Amino acid sequence: MIMVMPSKSAEWLQYELESVGSSLLLLDCRSHELFDSSHIETAINLAIPGLMLRRLKRGNLPIRSIIPNNEDKDKFLKRCKADTVVLYDEAISDWQENGSASSVLGLLLQKLRDDGCKAYFLEGKYNVCHFAIETM
C-alpha cells in the first residue's frame, strides 16, 4: 500500500527561510558526517543508529532521545508542537518513489504526526547548499 505523506517543496522552504518570523523546526536526518560538513543553519541533526531505529519502530523510544545534544533536545521539546516541523535527508527522492512509511524518514514523520506535530518531509531533489547553510 502506498501512503501519501505530507510534504513541502524546496521552494516553499526557501521562502519560509527568507521570511521574517517564520516558525520552522528543521530536522536533518542525514548522517552525522554529512550534517557536520554542511546543513541548513537552524537544523537539528536526527541521524538514527540501527539499534535505536529498531527501538523506535517498536515504540520503545521517544524521538527526543535520539537528539544528541541537550541544547537541540530542549529546542525540539519546546518547539515540536508549536512550529512547522520539516524533515529532510539525502535520499528523499528514493523514499518518494517507493512511498514507504517504513523508511526512516517515513517512520519519524508518522511518529511526529502521531504526537500532534505539524510535520512534513521536504519533497523532490534539492541541495542543502541552495539554502542558508552552516558549516562546522
Assess contact for 103 and 121: CB atoms under 8 A.
no
For 78-111, how does the pLDDT look when each residue is reduced to its tens digit (9 = 90+)? 999 999 999 988 765 444 445 444 477 888 998 9
**Is 91 within the bounds of a domain?**
yes
| Average predicted confidence (pLDDT) for the chain | 81
**What pLDDT, in 10s, does the model give residues 56-72?**
888 888 888 889 889 99
Q: Give the lowest-confidence range in 65-69, 86-90, 123-127, 131-135.
A: 131-135
Residue 103 domain flag: yes
Distance in angstroms (rounded) separating the CA atoms of residues 44 and 29: 8
Give the CATH number of the domain where residue 77 resides.
3.40.250.10
The tally of domains found in the chain comes to 1
Residue 2, in any domain of the structure:
no
Q: Averaged over 49-54, what is the pLDDT?
A: 82
Residue 63 lies in a domain: yes
* 61 in a structural domain: yes
Average pLDDT over residues 42-68: 86
Higher per-residue confidence, 117 vs 3 = 117
SS3 content of the chain, % helix, strand, coil (to 5): 45, 15, 40
Domain that holds residue 84: 7-134
Cβ neighbours around 123 below 10 Å, total: 19
Please tell me the distance from the alpha carbon of residue 52 to that of residue 60, in angstroms, as a whole number: 9
Residue 1 is assigned to a structural domain of this protein:
no
The counts of H helices and E strands in the chain are: 6, 7
Q: Which residue has the cell 504526526?
A: 113
- pLDDT (0 to 100) of residue 101: 47
Three-state DSSP state, 100:
coil
Tell me, yes or no, whether 85 lies in a domain.
yes
Tell which residue, 51, 39, 47, 50, has the closest CA to residue 108: 47
Contact 28, 43 (CB under 8 A): yes
Mean pLDDT of 103-131: 81
